[in-house]
DNA sequence: AGCACA
């Protein structure tokens, strides 16, 4: 007869085992949470979580069989189900007698992440896009990309395991934000584990590898001649040589764009050293100087085509300037050197020097997006919104895990990092209104 | 909501 016992995976009773199988766990359940759950019943000697296709299953191994029996028995008769983060979890004896090989290299936290980019067009994802995505969590030292049987992969090197972990926790299983990819590219999912590497060897800057700690590393010949892929963007457009100075031109300038506004907007990505504004053919342009090329790249990629004000006003167009160091003769309403101490200056910047882009998002312009018609002060332009606003942090009474990551992984899906999901208006309060006009 | 070395 086709009894239940012919389908062992659906049996209601498993023979007892020191190992318990848990299911219906929250997506990012931690080993600590599993230990907490099992602790009242005995000594948890091993755990394995995030297993199974949906990463919502786990195992707990007790030191003693009786402890496992105690836990199963307790919840079998309890009116309160076992819970993790308020979510009911279902448990039963595992059909294995022990958890095997719990810790592989992929589980041991390190400063280098192994990133697999999944998707039809995975290999069209440029190293610059990856750099942008991972820079939200801290300074990215190096990136290498390569093709393996697993698909298109990258190694991303951070300063330390903590930073790498925050990036991994936030990005694993998520897609690369759509607005970072050109429209014809299908969604790309990131799968992230730890790599055993601690320091990547990058010999050349190329379309396959970058060392951001050494921008003067020679550019690979293969990247210069012939294919010229080094200078090709995702959409195949040719890019100007990168520079630490950005040239911004402002289109549809319904509102006065002041030096302070520009400073605020561009400071979201790192310390702004100097700004010079001028008119060119009746349109406003500005040169914005960062201490390094990397910060300028991040700012350019994030801000290009976006509007300072809601409603498509003051749309930014950015290119790399030929300048590397602006000569500011005088500090006035059109030009300023922020590297010169000035007690009268508002909005001082923490001197993180591009180390932690997210850390510089501390501007509290995260409140209302002022529509052009509803200005509070008739004479004032609407409040511009700082690039990657701190408003992205979900309003959950949750302690910061560490001091340098404003990102708190949301209990439930959609957002990625501060700003990242914010910018294209995918919920929350977008710091920058993407209008793509 | 259903058993893991990739």
Nucleotide B5's nearest residue (CA vs C1') is: A101
Asked whether residue A227 carries a pLDDT value surpassing 90, the answer given is: no
Q: Is the CB of A24 under 7 A from strand B?
A: yes
**Nearest nt to A8, CA vs C1'?**
B2
Structural domain includes residue A408: no
- Do both A200 and A250 map to the same domain? no
Average pLDDT for A252-267:
89
A52 touches strand B (CB under 7 A): yes
Return phi, psi of residue A183, to 5°. Answer: -60, -30
In a domain, A380, yes or no: no
A155: domain CATH number?
3.30.70.330
User: Residues of A from 75 to 94 whose C-beta is within 7 A of strand B: which are they?
Assistant: 90, 92-94
Lowest mean pLDDT among A56-70, A141-155, A161-175, A330-344: A330-344
Average confidence (pLDDT) over A260-266: 91
Q: Kindly report the bases of strand B lying within 7 A of a protein C-beta atom.
A: 1-6
For B1, nearest residue by CA–C1' is A24
For residues A40 and A306, which has the higher predicted lDDT (pLDDT)?
A40
- CA A399 to C1' B5 (Å) is 35
Beta-carbon count within 10 A of A129 CB: 21
User: If 0-12 CB within 10 Å is exposed, 13-18 middle and 19+ buried, where does residue A319 land?
Assistant: middle
- Backbone angles phi and psi of A140, in degrees to 5: -90, 120
Element (H, E) at A153: strand A151-158
Q: What pLDDT is attached to residue A344?
A: 56
Q: For all residues of chain A together, what is the average pLDDT?
A: 77
Distance in angstroms (rounded) separating the CA atoms of residues A35 and A40: 9
Q: Nearest protein residue to B4's C1' (by CA)?
A: A51
Predicted confidence band of residue A415 (pLDDT cuts 50, 70, 90) = very low
Per the DSSP assignment, residues forming a β-bridge with A20 are A60, A93
A22-CA/B2-C1' distance, Å = 9
If one compares A268 and A20, the residue with the highest pLDDT of the two is A20
Gap from A53 CA to B6 C1', in Å? Answer: 12
Name the nucleotide with the smallest C1'–CA separation from A46: B4
Q: Are residues A119 and A50 in the same domain?
A: no
The total domain count for chain A is 3
Task: Give the range of the structural domain holding residue A32, as residue numbers without chain letter.
Answer: 19-93
Choose one of A337, A365, A388: the last residue of a domain.
Answer: A337
- Å: A27 CA to B3 C1': 17
Q: Are residues A133 and A62 part of one domain?
A: no
Structure confidence at residue A142 (pLDDT): 97
pLDDT for residue A101 = 73
Q: How far apart are CA A300 and CA A143, in angstroms?
A: 19
Residue A276 β-bridge partners: A287, A335
Give residues 186-205 of chain A lying near strand B (Cβ < 7 A): 193
**Residue A315, CB, less than 7 Å from strand B?**
no
Strand stretches in A25-111, DSSP E: 44-51, 57-62, 83-84, 87-88, 90-93
The reply to whether A48 has its C-beta less than 7 Å from any atom of strand B is yes
Comparing A269 with A156, the larger pLDDT belongs to A156
Interatomic distance A35 CA / B3 C1' (Å): 19
The H or E element that residue A142 is part of is strand A140-148
Q: What is the pLDDT of residues A233-246, one digit of tens each?
A: 444 445 578 899 99
Q: Are A192 and A265 within one domain? A: no
Task: Answer whether any strand B atom is within 7 A of the Cβ of A57.
Answer: yes
Q: Which two tokens stand for residue A342?
A: 């000035």
> Is position A221 within any domain?
no
* Residue A313 to residue A354: CA distance in whole angstroms: 28
Where a domain ends, among A93, A121, A137? A93
- Using the CA of A24, which nucleotide's C1' is the nearest one? B1
Average pLDDT over residues A251-259: 87
Q: Are residues A207 and A273 in the same domain?
A: no
What is the spatial distance between Cα A387 and Cα A255, in angstroms, rounded to a whole number?
Answer: 18
Residue A281 lies in a domain: yes
* A12 part of a folded domain: no
Q: Can you give the pLDDT at residue A414?
A: 35
Closest nucleotide to A51's CA, by C1' atom? B4
Question: Measuring from the CA of residue A88 to each C1', which nucleotide is nearest?
Answer: B1
If asked whether residues A69 and A136 sit together in one domain, one would say no
**Strand B reaches within 7 A of the A98 CB:** yes
Residues A138 and A71 grouped into a single domain: no
Confidence tier at A313 by pLDDT (50, 70, 90): confident
Residue A187 placed within a domain: yes
The verdict on A81 and A125 lying in the same domain is no
Number of other residues whose CB lies within 10 A of the CB of residue A54 = 12
| Pair A45, A74 in one domain | yes
Residues facing residue A145 across a β-bridge: A154
Residue A101 resides in a domain: no
- Report pLDDT for A193: 92
Nucleic chain B contacts, protein chain A, residues 113-172, CB cut-off 7 A: 150
Q: Collapsing DSSP states into helix, strand and coil, what is residue A280?
A: strand
**Looking at A33, A65, A93, which one is the last position of a domain?**
A93
**Residues A116, A81 share a domain:** no
A240: in domain: no
Instruction: Say how far A171 CA is from B3 C1', in Å.
Output: 26
Alpha helices in A225-381 (DSSP H): 259-267, 293-303
A78-106 pLDDT per residue, tens: 999 999 999 999 999 999 999 987 667 77
Strand nucleotide closest to residue A100 (CA to C1'): B4
> What interhelical angle do A293-303 and A259-267 show, nearest 10?
100
């Amino acid at each position: 007869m086709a009894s239940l016992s012919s389908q062992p995976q659906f049996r209601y009773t498993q023979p007892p085992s020191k190992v318990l199988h848990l299911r219906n766990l929250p997506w990012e359940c931690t080993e600590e949470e599993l230990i907490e759950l099992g602790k009242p019943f005995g000594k948890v000697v091993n755990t394995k979580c995030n297993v199974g296709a949906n990463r919502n299953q786990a195992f707990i191994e007790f030191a003693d069989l009786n402890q496992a029996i105690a836990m199963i028995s307790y919840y079998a008769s309890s009116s309160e189900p076992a819970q993790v983060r308020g979510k009911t979890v279902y448990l039963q004896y595992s059909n294995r007698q022990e958890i095997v090989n719990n810790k592989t290299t992929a589980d041991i936290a390190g400063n280098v992440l192994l990133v697999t980019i999944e998707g039809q067009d995975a290999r069209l994802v440029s190293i610059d896009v990856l750099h942008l995505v991972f820079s939200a969590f801290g300074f990215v030292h190096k990136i290498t990309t390569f093709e393996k049987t697993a698909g298109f992969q990258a190694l991303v090197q951070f300063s330390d395991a903590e930073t790498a972990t925050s990036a991994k926790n936030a990005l694993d299983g998520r897609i690369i934000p759509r607005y970072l990819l050109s429209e014809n590219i299908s969604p790309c999912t990131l799968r992230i584990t730890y790599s055993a590497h601690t320091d990547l060897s990058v010999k050349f800057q190329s379309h396959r590898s970058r060392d951001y700690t050494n921008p003067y590393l020679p550019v690979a010949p293969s990247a210069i001649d012939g294919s010229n892929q080094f200078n090709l963007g995702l959409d195949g457009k040719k890019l100007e040589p990168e520079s630490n100075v950005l040239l911004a031109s402002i289109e549809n300038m319904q509102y006065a764009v002041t030096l302070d506004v520009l400073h605020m907007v561009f400071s979201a990505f790192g310390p702004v050293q100097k700004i010079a504004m001028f008119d060119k053919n009746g349109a406003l342009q500005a040169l914005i100087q960062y201490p390094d090329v990397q910060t300028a790249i991040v700012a350019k990629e994030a801000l290009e085509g976006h509007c300072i004000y809601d409603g498509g006003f003051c749309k930014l167009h950015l290119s790399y300037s030929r300048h590397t160091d602006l000569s500011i003769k005088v500090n006035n309403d059109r030009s300023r050197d922020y590297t010169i101490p000035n007690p009268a200056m508002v909005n001082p910047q923490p001197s993180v020097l591009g180390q932690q882009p997210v850390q510089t998002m501390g501007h509290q312009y995260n409140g209302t997006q002022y529509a052009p018609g509803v200005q509070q002060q008739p004479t004032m332009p609407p409040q511009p919104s700082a690039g990657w606003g701190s408003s992205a942090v979900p309003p959950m009474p949750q302690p910061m895990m560490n001091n340098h990551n404003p990102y708190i992984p949301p209990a439930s899906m959609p957002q990625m990092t501060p700003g990242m999901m914010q910018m294209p208006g995918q919920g929350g309060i977008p710091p920058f209104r993407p209008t793509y006009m």
